Amino acid sequence: MTSPDKAGRRSFLKGSIAIVPVAAVGTASAVLRPTADEIKRSAPPPDTPAQQHYQPGYFTPDEWAFVNAACDCLIPKDQVGPGAVELGVPQYIDRQLQTGYGDASRWYMHGPFQKGAPEFGYQSKLTPKEQYRLGIRAIDAYCKAHFSGKSFAQLEKAQQVAFLKDVEGGKIQDDFNMKSFFSGFLLKNTMEGYFGDPMYGGNKDMGSWKMIGYPGARADYVEWVSESKPYPYGPVSQYGKRG
């Protein structure tokens, strides 16, 4: 949530993400290439947008309210482009937690679990599913204790943003380590769902790709790499759908 000094957060994203190749806009379960079954369970059919009245398969109603509120804080809709909720990012996160990613099925999850430098990889016995369940529980408990019994989703938008900034900055001390959950899962997964291929359940109608002028999975656009003007054609998803 930290903004560059001379540019708005969304403008910064628009300028920096536009040059990232499609392979780099990964998804949570793509440590290895996802299986066909995982893709089928995590994504809607190629011509079906994220449903307005989507029913979460993993999150409880209170957790779902948190995820929607948090995603809206991280990437809100504004004059630059669509917001995370509008592009189905909460749905993306819920779907991913129902794949092997949610159970950490492709991660080494045996002990010993010790604190270590980032280059040593993930050091926790908690799966992504458990991170979300316990992380949301810890955040809501803290909010209720410090905001007159209100959960995170019940706070005013300005309060939510200020709280997440404090979490990101490590200003809130807690037993669960909300900062690690925020940076390692919530923020990361929100970015994935917003900028990833729609086949994974987010980035509805390739809205973020249109915003930054990203061509998507087009076979050839080398001649435009050195051009200073915007790419003139709409994006293409890995399903072949054109934006």
Residue 105 lies in a domain: yes
List Cβ<8 Å contacts ≥24 apart for 237-242. 237/46, 237/197, 237/198, 237/199, 237/206, 238/197, 238/199, 239/46, 239/198, 239/199, 240/46, 241/46, 241/47, 241/198, 241/206
Query: Does residue 235 fall inside a structural domain?
Result: no
**Residue 51 counted as domain residue:** yes
Q: Is the pLDDT of residue 6 over 50?
A: no
> Is 172 within a domain?
no
CA dist., res. 126 & res. 2, Å (int): 27
Distance CA 206, CA 214 (A): 9
- 173 lies in a domain? no
Whether 133 is in a domain gets the answer yes
Q: What is the mean pLDDT of residues 51-78?
A: 93
Tens digits of residue pLDDT in 119-169:
877 888 999 999 999 999 999 999 999 999 999 999 999 999 999 999 999
According to the model, what pLDDT value does residue 23 have?
42
User: Whole-model pTM above 0.85?
Assistant: no
Tens of pLDDT, residues 106-116: 988 888 888 87
- Residue 19 confidence (pLDDT) above 50: no
pLDDT at 37 over 80: no
| pLDDT of 49 strictly over 50 | no
pLDDT category at 15 given cuts 50, 70, 90 is: low
- Asked if residue 202 belongs to a domain, the reply is yes
Total structural domains in the chain? 1
Phi, psi of 242 (to 5 degrees): -100, 140
Residues of the chain with pLDDT > 70: what percent? Answer: 77
Asked if omega into 112 is within 30° of 0 (cis), the reply is yes
Judge whether 236 lies within some domain. no
Domain that holds residue 79: 9-137+184-212
